[in-house]
Chain A
Amino acid sequence: MKKRTFLAGVAATALATAAFAGSHGDGPVKVGFVYVGPIGDGGWTYEHHQGLLAVEEAFGDKVETVYQENVPEGADAERAMTQMALQGADLIFTTSFGYMDPTINVASKFPNVKFEHATGYKRSDNVSTYSARFYEGRAVQGHIAGKMTKTNKIGYIASFPIPEVIRGINSAYIHAKKVNPDVEFSIVWAYTWFDPAKEADAAKALIENGADVILQHTDSTAPQAAAQTAGNVVTFGQASDMGEYAPFPRVSSIIDNWGPYYVQRVQAVMDGTWASVDTWDGIGPGMVGIGEISDAVPADVKAEAEALRDSLASGEYHAFTGPINKQDGSAWLAAGETADDGTLAGMNFYVEGITADIPN
């Protein structure tokens, strides 16, 4: 079998180069965004689109933005990216983990176009990766959750058993346990990032089992609505502030704030200083935001949570600070030791105390 060469290379490269050269001469920098969900999902994709708007706001007519929503992962994603590259995009943000291989494939055919892939781990000369340390936000959530629960049962709606999600569960658990040693986590795997019906079912099941705090790693507001119906269940906004459910059930939130990063990367392309990097930012640089802690939370808990947030932001405190054992009881971090990024990036184990098993 012949190696897949793109249109014998020539035509495409010529075109791509022409488009590249053209847009850098005088025209605006063209920035493309590939979204996995609809921009109105109120969560993940919504926040990426806010990032696009921030880019437009910052650069005005010096940029031209295009986006495509609801792009399935796989062959369709490759086409969406290729299309943007052919139409002269200089920089393309691909905003879902599943776009990893497609991004690498398309990037190899358009060496002059820069790509930025969210939450992945494969890079090349023209592919950067970026993600946020959501687990820092989970620590703050865990603290509030541990304080707020009366039944000591916390429900967690998880999406897929990947390191990103497991990290969040661990971080929330550690900090809930710290303030409430009796706390128990029930984890439901929804196997989706966005499916209001499934998320609502999961939330109802958890509430029926006695959970009075629901944490979610899925993107819809369905769990918030389910909690509102139940009346006495605390929730947290995910990916987006979900402020329409404040002050109760939503008492706080983790907000993905991509705007500053997007603006900075577009600026780098304009300045010609763009280079392939791996960015993993947390509360400090502002990539992870903690949404307003509502008055439904007692003032002392609120103050503690804010202090925790600030110490995470300043780097004074790391969300994974020893002593922490793994679920099987083996030692992971010694007292005072903090987790290294490599272990965190590939985290595939629960910490001690969580009774569930990671599905596989």
Chain B
Amino acid sequence: MITLEKRPTPSKLWSYLTPIVAVIATMIAGGIMFGFLGNDPVAAIRTIFWDPIFGEFAFYYRGQLLVKAGPLILIAIGLSMGFRAGIWNIGAEGQYIMGAIFAAAVGLAFYPMEARWLIFPLMVVAGAVGGILWAMIPGILKTKFNTNEILVSLLLVYVAESILASVSLSLLRNPDGAGFPGSRNLRQYESSANNELIAGWGMHWGVVAAFIAVIFAYILLSRHIMGFNIRLTGESPRAARFAGVNPDRLVLFCLGLSGALAGLAGMFEVTGPAAQISIDFNVGYGFTAIIVAFLGRLHPIGILLAGMLMALTYIGGEAAQASLGLPAAAIQAFQGMLLFFLLAFDVLTNFRVRFGREVTA
């Protein structure tokens, strides 16, 4: 007989252990799935987790890991602040898009003037502003009319996607592009280019910003009164109110911060790896970042590691597709398992497993 017994307080040990256990369980279950698909499970797992870091082409993949992890970490850090306080911004994808559009619009307004010292910083600011403004819509609606920020922020993603399609076809369309949708290439425009800082390392300003965000989030949470307010509100909203936390200000702060970081991620992406505003510019970083935030236990260092791990499953998954012929759907199922096992093993954080006969009182 196995019984679950609720722990008086969540286990610290298990809250650190579950991500690791979940990864191991994913490898085993994923290996079995790959086996059923007719692939060597060990080779598949090695291709996904080992080759991108230590394999033959690791010199290329390591940089790509940073490219992929950068926006995930940057967005997840912002989201984690709100999640800790029970403020659910699900629309980071929309804020990411708006940040990119604002930044690109500013950069293209100056085209072809060459003044990187002015234009690039302005674009960074515009990216953050775009994200903040988009996040303020659910924020203000929540504080003024008590609407649900989950719904509003999520639905605004679809609005942002429509705006993205519209500007790709009209306002920001490349006038030299023969009528095809999409903006000028921002990476080929010296003043807006967010290139790798060291060629081949993958490290661009967005990755730098992600690392800085991790450090700032850590300090904010552990040293600053706002971080204290966030944690307190999450743990006990009543106590927070008694302690003088203004819930409206906190909502706006958390949504604004996550919007700003998502907008920045969009800005660094559109000037760097993606290189242009196009109809399909967004590829789901804003949604994947939610998984990263939880996989990282809403802790800055955890998010850093989780972002890297998530990037690894993407990069490795692609490699497995190309070199082993694994179908894309199998890779997605594999990534889904990771979240599934994480949530499943999370039970162990809050419950103790007891083996043996149930004792009746």
Contact = CB atoms under 8 A, between A and B. Distances in A.
Given A7-B59, A74-B274, A79 B64 contact: yes
Given A79-B315, A101-B185, A162-B180, A4 B196 contact: yes
A74 B185 contact: no
Interface stretch (B1-9, B19-27, B317-325): B317-325
Interface string B157-193: 0000010010001100100001111100101001001
Nearest to B178: A346
Contacts of B281: 74
Given A101-B185, A359-B169, A191 B279 contact: yes
Nearest to B331: A70
Contacts of A218: none
A75 B59 contact: no
Interface string B47-62: 0000000000101100
A70 B317 CA distance: 12
Q: Which of B165, B179, B185, B319 has the most CB of A within 10 A?
A: B179
Contact of B321 (A5, A7, A68): A68
Contacts of B80: none
Given A7-B199, A8-B200, A69-B328, A97 B318 contact: no
Contact of B181 (A6, A38, A160): A160
Interface stretch (A81-89, A226-234, A283-291): A81-89
A335 interface: no
Contacts of B329: 38
A75 B269 contact: yes
A115 to B, nearest CB: 16
B322 A70 contact: no
B275 A83 contact: no
B322 A160 contact: no
B179 A348 contact: yes
Contact of A82 (B60, B178, B269): B60
Contacts of B35: none
Nearest to B332: A70
B336 interface: no
A330 interface: no
A2 B178 CA distance: 30
A160 B166 CA distance: 10
A68 B315 CA distance: 12
A69 B322 contact: no
Contacts of B173: 360
Contacts of B315: 79
A80 B322 CA distance: 8
B344 to A, nearest CB: 27
Contacts of A2: 195, 199
Interface in A78-133: 78-80, 82-84, 86-87, 97-98, 101, 121
Interface in A42-101: 66-70, 72-76, 78-80, 82-84, 86-87, 97-98, 101
B278 interface: yes
Contacts of B190: 1
A161 interface: yes
**Range of interface residues on B (Cβ < 8 Å):** 35 or more
A339 interface: no
B321 A360 contact: no
A162 B57 contact: no
B60 A7 contact: yes
B199 A6 contact: yes
Nearest to B182: A98
B59 A73 contact: no
A34 to B, nearest CB: 9
A160 B179 CA distance: 11
A97 B276 CA distance: 14
Given A6-B199, A346-B179, A75 B67 contact: yes
Contact of B322 (A75, A76, A83, A347): A83
B354 interface: no
Given A161-B169, A163-B178, A163-B179, A74 B57 contact: no
Nearest to B194: A1
A353 B280 CA distance: 32
Contacts of B118: none
B121 interface: no
Given A82-B60, A346-B178, A66 B275 contact: no
Given A75-B269, A82-B60, A160 B275 contact: no
Interface in A232-260: none
Contact of A87 (B169, B182, B322): B322
Interface string A260-300: 00000000000000000000000000000000000000000
B136 to A, nearest CB: 26
Contacts of A72: 280, 283
B116 interface: yes
Interface of A: 1-8, 11-12, 15, 32, 38, 66-70, 72-76, 78-80, 82-84, 86-87, 97-98, 101, 121, 160-163, 191, 345-348, 359-360
Given A3-B195, A68-B322, A101-B276, 9 more contacts: A4-B199, A68-B318, A68-B328, A74-B275, A75-B272, A83-B318, A87-B57, A161-B181, A162-B180
Interface of B: 57, 59-60, 64, 67, 116, 162, 165, 169-170, 173, 178-182, 185, 187, 190, 193, 195-196, 199-200, 269, 272-276, 278-281, 283, 315, 318-319, 321-323, 325, 327-329
8 nearest A-B pairs in the assembled complex, by CB-CB distance = A75-B273, A7-B200, A74-B274, A348-B179, A72-B283, A360-B170, A70-B328, A346-B178
16 contacts: A1-B190, A2-B199, A4-B195, A7-B59, A11-B200, A12-B200, A73-B280, A75-B269, A79-B64, A98-B278, A101-B276, A160-B279, A162-B179, A163-B178, A163-B180, A346-B178
